[in-house]
């Protein structure tokens, strides 16, 4: 089909989108560990929630496991994913004399520290998040069982009966809907006026920025596509935000081959973004797929610039530097 025969399409490309600093750091940790120690390098759980990324690291020699007991006796390192782990995991690794590297996002580690501070101050802790998500399991696992109560919805916030209503604190998962979380917090503050919140927002800068960017493109888009994994919380929230912000339809796709072209027949405007664990190569792939069917005009819609960078673990950096210096 020639360009003249293709129907026109305006594609609004959200910015910022894709990799955040925590994801970028976690992937680099695996890559540097492979360089420093050689394969195999073991990784507990998906390092980030993206099949393309995980498969790429697997080809380089990363071995992904669900639990530490799947790892044989070895001197090779094991890496903990960006989502964070319960305290019992590094304790188990240390008991087995494992060399472990923690790739937990520093913004998740911040929430862990908040939980520990509230515990020291004898506060009852409410965690706003999604049951079963690795980050929630990791955060709740920083403290003894029963020390943290999970709040998933506004209804939960309306009905919870804390043991000490005058001595409460709330923390959140970092990848939630900003708007949903705000509504839950409003209920908690109305019911428990003395409840203590974070000094600085727990929902991470990248989640907030990507949701704001989607809000900018959704009202003018017949359809919004979010490149991301089904088990990626921040990607699922982007799809929900797009729907609520005026897009006629919103779709989560892992890559271009997932697009159902019949679903979007007749569209003239499309919004495109990517979750924080989705690489830009998959965004390019989706754009190319649209170009093969439409005469595409791409318009970048930037709401904010990001310049956040997290440092890599010092011991790993030093080992790689020594190897580079040696040869």
Residue with tokens 């580079």: 324
Q: 8-33: per-residue pLDDT in tens?
A: 999 999 999 999 999 999 999 999 99
Distances (CA, A) of 82 to 85, 100, 131, 148, 241: 9, 14, 18, 21, 24
Distance, in Å, from the CA atom of 193 to the CA atom of 179, rounded to the nearest integer, reads 20
CB 319 within 8 A of CB 34: no
pTM of the model: 0.94
pLDDT at 1: 55
| CATH 3.40.50.11270 intervals, the chain | 22-105
- If you count DSSP H runs as helices and E runs as strands, how many of each does the chain have, helices first? 11, 12
Residue range 107-191 in CATH 3.40.1010.20: yes
pLDDT surpasses 70 at 4: no
| CATH 3.40.1010.20 intervals, the chain | 8-20+205-302, 107-191
The alpha carbons of the chain give a radius of gyration, in whole angstroms, of 22
3-state DSSP assignment of residue 256: helix
Q: 265-300: per-residue pLDDT in tens?
A: 999 999 999 999 999 999 999 999 999 999 999 999
Instruction: Quote the mean pLDDT of the chain.
Output: 96
CB 101 within 8 A of CB 78: yes
Q: Average of pLDDT values for 107-127? A: 97
Where in the sequence numbering do the catalytic residues fall?
135
pLDDT surpasses 60 at 3: no
Distance, in Å, from the CA atom of 79 to the CA atom of 73, rounded to the nearest integer, reads 15
pLDDT grade for 2, boundaries at 50, 70 and 90:
low
Q: Is 121 exposed, middle or buried (0-12, 13-18, 19+ CB in 10 A)?
A: exposed
Q: Average of pLDDT values for 124-131? A: 98
What is the CATH code for 22-105? 3.40.50.11270
**Higher pLDDT among residues 221 and 326, named by residue:** 221
CA 256 to chain centre: 21
Q: 147-170: per-residue pLDDT in tens?
A: 999 999 999 999 999 999 999 999
| Selection from 49, 47, 44 nearest residue 100 by Cα | 44
pLDDT grade for 324, boundaries at 50, 70 and 90:
confident
Write the CB contacts of 122 (distance below 8 Å, at least 6 apart in sequence): 167
Top-tier CATH class for 8-20+205-302:
alpha beta
């Amino acid at each position: 089909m020639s360009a003249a025969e293709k129907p026109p399409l305006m594609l609004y490309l959200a910015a910022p989108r894709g990799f955040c600093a925590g994801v970028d750091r976690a992937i680099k940790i695996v890559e540097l560990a492979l360089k420093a120690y050689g394969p195999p390098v073991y990784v507990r759980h998906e390092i980030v929630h993206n099949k393309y990324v995980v498969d790429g690291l697997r080809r380089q020699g990363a071995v992904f496991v669900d639990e530490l007991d799947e790892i044989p006796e070895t001197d090779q390192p094991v890496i903990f994913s960006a989502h964070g782990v319960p305290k019992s995991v590094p304790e188990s690794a240390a008991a087995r004399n494992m060399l472990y590297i923690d790739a937990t996002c520093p913004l998740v580690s911040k929430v862990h520290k908040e939980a520990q501070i509230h515990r020291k101050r004898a506060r009852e802790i409410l965690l706003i998040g999604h049951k079963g998500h690795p980050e929630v399991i990791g955060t709740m696992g920083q403290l003894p069982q029963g020390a943290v109560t999970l709040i998933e919805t506004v209804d939960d916030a309306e009905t919870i009966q804390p043991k000490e209503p005058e001595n409460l604190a709330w923390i959140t998962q970092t990848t939630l809907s900003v708007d949903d979380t705000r509504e839950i917090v409003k209920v908690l503050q109305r019911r428990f006026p003395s409840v203590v919140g974070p000094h600085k927002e727990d929902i991470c800068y990248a989640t907030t920025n990507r949701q704001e960017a989607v809000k900018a493109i959704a009202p003018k888009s017949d359809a919004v596509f979010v490149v991301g994994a089904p088990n990626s919380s921040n990607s699922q929230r982007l799809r929900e935000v797009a729907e609520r912000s005026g897009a006629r339809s919103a779709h989560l796709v892992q890559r271009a081959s997932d697009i159902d072209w019949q679903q979007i027949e007749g569209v003239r405007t499309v919004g495109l973004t990517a979750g924080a664990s989705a690489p830009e190569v998959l965004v390019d792939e989706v754009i190319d797929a649209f170009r093969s069917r439409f005469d595409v005009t791409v318009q970048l819609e930037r709401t904010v610039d990001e310049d956040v960078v997290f440092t890599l673990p010092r011991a790993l950096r030093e080992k790689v530097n020594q190897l580079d210096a040696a040869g």
